[in-house]
Amino acid sequence: MASESKSTSTSVKIRATKASSVSKAVAQYTVDARLHAVFEQSGESGKSFDYSNSLRTTTATQVVPEQQITAYLSKIQRGGHVQPFGCMIAVEEASLRVIGFSENVSEMLGLAPQSVPCMEKSVAVWIGADVRTFFSYSSAVLLEKAFRAREITLVNPVWVHSKHSGKPFYAILHRIDVGVVIDLEPARTEDPALSIAGAVQSQKLAVRAISQLQSLPGGDVKLLCDTAVECVRGLTGYDRVMVYKFHEDEHGEVLAESKRPDLDPYLGLHYPATDIPQASRFLFKQNRVRMIADCFAKPVGVVQDEALSQPLCLVGSTLRAPHGCHAQYMANMGSVASLAMAVIINGNDDEAPGGRNSMKLWGLVVCHHTTARCIPFPLRYACEFLMQAFGLQLNMELQLASQLSEKRVLRTQTLLCDMILRDSPTGIVTQSPSIMDLVKCDGAALFYQGKYYALGVTPTEAQIKDIIEWLLRVHGDSTGLSTDSLADAGYPEAASLGDAVCGMSVAYIRRSDFLFWFRSHTAKEIKWGGAKHHPEDTDDGQRMHPRSSFKAFLEVVKSRSQPWESAEMDAIHSLQLILRDSFKETEETNTKALINVGNEDVELQGIDELSSVAREMVRLIETATAPIFAVDNDGDINGWNQKVAEVTGLSVDEAMGKSLVNDLVFSEYKESVEKLLYNALKGQEDKNVEIKLKTFVSAEPDNALYLVVNACSSRDFTNNIVGVSFVGQDVTSQKLYMDKFINIQGDYKAIVHSPNPLIPPIFASDDNTYCSEWNTATEKLTGWSRESVIGKMLVGEVFGGCCQLKEWESSAGSIDGE
């Protein structure tokens, strides 16, 4: 029954979390659609669009017709325009027949007009044409081969040449509902070998950047983000690179920035959720790298087969034109070109069916440039590879921070429980630590047996009694309430509390006993690192600009606090359950009467309270998001929580009694685990130790789970060590990624040192200009072996006055006639 109850509670929590997430997204779509409609009505240039005012007057509660939302999404996903730095052809997959194309195809491919049956005039490209006729024979063969691929995006880019002009293009393919879209981006060189070398160099730079990220010390998200923007700026050459984080309430914040010295900083800027609409965020999950080459360039229209029921879907197109609203925003902030890359991390376990991690858009890495800029597809692909590594590293840091937070909360709860057992319940507000240490807040309070105990920034006693009356009247059938805006929650006297008390979380204990936590308005928490807006600056609140967005954000959140996170609510709920068992309601008695209770009753009460605390601590460990397990003095498993059971595939019943070293750890890790156990059983608790556990989710014996664990000595009531507990962090995905990383390094070496005549001479230097690369083609060209030049200075020792081909003297003699 207990298991069934726990399962029901978990499923209710999952449904509530998913419902809340969907509700937020739907509400934001409504606001986005309304703002889009206002912009569309403001004219072609959007000059009359007052962004700040529109945002202030548009709320999620306004009713927007379903047709308007549908039209908005269609405009974003099927806009019918592409950017002019390339051209697009859509084809029917089975026949390779053209079903759509951008109006600049004939110009970019250099196609000559020709007579087409059933058409009044000669045209260069037409609906129904065979796409292969536009490209050279070898290119057509490559396209046919690509079309046969099960996952077509894995073959990108395909190197093709126009049949008529001979110009080279990167063909980037993806499937849509009615066929295949071919994005054609001009390549900068006509030699495919040089293109390969460029792609290899891009990957090599990305690999170097990844190594730099992975060499950082753990536990510092800010340092990781700062390093990421520096790496991306070095890789791409954009004027400004920023890391944007999406908060729980959907608004964004600039966490890190690398920029040209003369540009105004945007570091620390917050902006409303509408600045990056939900529809755009959805697109970033589908197409994780998005480039706008020139926001001033006029978009090119798309012509399509009239038989198609709706405009072509351009969600996955690398050329999809930006919406006018976004182009205006870029122009207002002086950014002509941009490159935006999605930062994807694992979502919460309870957001995905079956307990599997879902993918969550954590934020973006955004690059801006003050002039038009177009970087080739191979470099963008390398950037996407870098973002995957950044996302993995960030995910690890966030997991570590979450585990440290859980550990801190558990420690605080243990101390609070100890206070409750030793003293009266008021100890949690009169001693240290207090309930303010449980979650981040500006104030906290306990209302117990008609008395008010307040800490920090709180309402007055009269105000708190009024709040309690409102709670019992409006929310009397609930067990608590949390809100980031008392005004939005409907509390009629919210204005009288001012900015000091905007958000509140309350836990009902018994009848008229309550625990409160309070937060001040969000703006108090914000420290903008950007330059102050000078009075003589010409920016105004009407224009869509980072400063006006920041101003609009502050306007929106002036009566709102930071939202309460799920982990914080779990901590509050856990303390609520503990206190409910501890607060013994008695009629017409007070705390003094407890002194007269017989010794046996006191002991029984203490046992009950200790049992309550123990049960709650077990529940917290069981439902923790980190893998937690324990062993006895013999090293046999005696604790195995839900998370470690999930990731290993080994149930609690199956795990109990197994030997950690002999049954669950891979042989190459036995020695380190034995040392870990030995130290912990002596009281020496080692941290951040990697172990490799066997998994039982499939029949393959080599499947492994990599954990980085902290060992904690378990003690009994006499303080004797009776076992070891392990709190782990799952790093398996990083390990697998490192394998891929090593493979790519191997691929790079294989390509560079291939004797294939298409591979050009390639040499490289390290940061001190010493030769670090000298491939086979360079050996053949110069006659000097790799071993003879590696480690020598390129300038002076290898090249320069003493640089010459090995056979230079004999070849020079033959030229002179000798």
User: Of the candidates 353, 372, 402, which is a domain's last residue?
Assistant: 402
H helix or E strand, kind and range, residue 82 = strand 81-82
List Cβ neighbours of 31 (8 Å cut-off, separation of 6 or more).
58, 59, 60, 273, 274
Q: Which of 123-137, 606-620, 686-700 has the lowest mean pLDDT?
A: 606-620
Quick one: 782 and 706 in the same domain?
A: no
CATH code at position 582: 3.30.450.270
Sorting pLDDT into bands at 50, 70 and 90, what band is 719?
confident
pLDDT of residue 215: 87
Same domain, 655 and 712: yes
Asked whether residue 317 is domain-assigned, the answer is no
Answer whether residue 747 shows pLDDT above 70.
Answer: no
**pLDDT of 46 higher than 50:** no
Confidence class for position 51, pLDDT limits 50, 70, 90: very low
Residue 181: beta bridge partners? 90, 174
Residues 763 and 714 in one domain: no
What confidence score (pLDDT) does residue 587 get?
Answer: 36
Return d(Cα 232, Cα 385) in angstroms, integer.
11
Give the pLDDT of residue 791: 83
Question: Please, which contacts does 487-490 make with residues 24 or more away whose CB atoms are closer than 8 Å?
Answer: 487/559, 488/559, 488/560
pTM score = 0.65
- Residues 387, 456 share a domain: no
Identify whether the C-beta of residue 610 lies closer than 8 Å to the C-beta of residue 582: no
Within 10 angstroms of residue 64's Cβ, the number of other Cβ atoms is 17
Residue 65, domain member (yes or no) = yes
Query: At which of 45, 60, 78 does a domain end?
Result: 78
Q: Which residue has the higher pLDDT, 290 or 813?
A: 290
Residue 384 sits in the same domain as residue 432: no
User: What is the SS3 assignment for 734?
Assistant: helix
Amino acid at 792: K
Any idea what the CATH number is for the domain that residue 670 is in?
Answer: 3.30.450.20
Asked if the peptide bond before residue 157 counts as cis, ω within 30 degrees of 0, the response is yes
pLDDT of residue 282: 81
Residue 743 lies in a domain: no
The answer to the question of residue 746 being in a domain is no
Is pLDDT of 674 > 60? Answer: yes
CATH code at 346?
A: 3.30.450.40
How large is the average pLDDT for residues 1-17?
Answer: 38
Answer whether 631's CB lies under 8 Å from 723's CB.
yes
The pLDDT of residue 285 is above 50: yes
If asked whether residues 636 and 732 sit together in one domain, one would say yes
Q: Answer yes or no: do 764 and 725 share one domain.
A: no
Place of tokens 């407890």: 594
Confidence category of residue 291, pLDDT binned at 50, 70, 90: very high
> Do 796 and 708 fall into the same domain?
no
In sequence order, the β-bridge partners of residue 342 are 364
pLDDT score, position 688: 83
Q: Say whether both 213 and 352 belong to one domain.
A: yes
**Which region holds residue 355: left if phi is over 0, alpha if psi is between -120 and 50, else beta?**
left
Average pLDDT over residues 284-291: 88
Cβ 313 vs Cβ 177: under 8 Å: yes
Res 385 pLDDT > 80:
yes
Return the pLDDT at 355: 38
- pLDDT of 261: 94
What's 290's DSSP letter?
Answer: E
> In this model, does residue 358 exceed pLDDT 90?
no
Integer Rg of the chain from CA: 32
Q: How far apart are CA 277 and CA 37, in angstroms?
A: 13
Task: Flag whether 597 is in a domain.
Answer: no
Residue 790 lies inside a defined structural domain of this protein: yes
The answer on 758 and 732 residing in a single domain is no
Instruction: Give the pLDDT of residue 131.
Output: 93
Domain closes at, from 682, 708, 736: 736
Please tell me which residue, 688 or 758, carries the higher pLDDT value.
Answer: 688
| Domain range enclosing 36 | 16-78
The per-residue pLDDT of the chain, averaged, comes to 77
**486 in the same domain as 457:** yes
- C-beta of residue 713 within 8 angstroms of C-beta of residue 727: no
CB 79 within 8 A of CB 321: yes
How confident is the model at residue 244, as a pLDDT?
Answer: 93
Q: What is the pLDDT of residues 545-571, one digit of tens each?
A: 555 555 655 655 667 788 888 778 888
User: Which of 19-33, 178-192, 235-249, 272-286 has the least mean pLDDT?
Assistant: 19-33
The count of domains in the chain is: 5
Measured between alpha carbons, how far is 664 from 667 in angstroms, rounded to an integer? 9
> Could you give the CA distance from residue 134 to residue 413 in angstroms, rounded to a whole number?
71
**Beta strand extents in 335-427 (DSSP E only):** 337-346, 359-369
DSSP state of 659: B
Kindly tell me the burial class for residue 276, based on how many C-beta atoms sit within 10 Å of its own C-beta (0-12, 13-18, 19 or more). buried
The model's pLDDT over 495-504, given as tens digits with 9 standing for 90+, comes to: 898 888 999 9
Domain annotation covers residue 86: no
Q: What does the pLDDT read at residue 551?
A: 60
Pairing outcome for strands 270-271 and 97-102: unpaired
**Looking at the structure, do residues 640 and 768 belong to the same domain, yes or no?**
no
Environment class of residue 63 by beta-carbon count within 10 Å: exposed (0-12), middle (13-18) or buried (19+)?
Answer: exposed
**Which residues contact residue 804 at a Cβ distance below 8 angstroms, ignoring those fewer than 6 apart?**
none
In a domain, 429, yes or no: yes
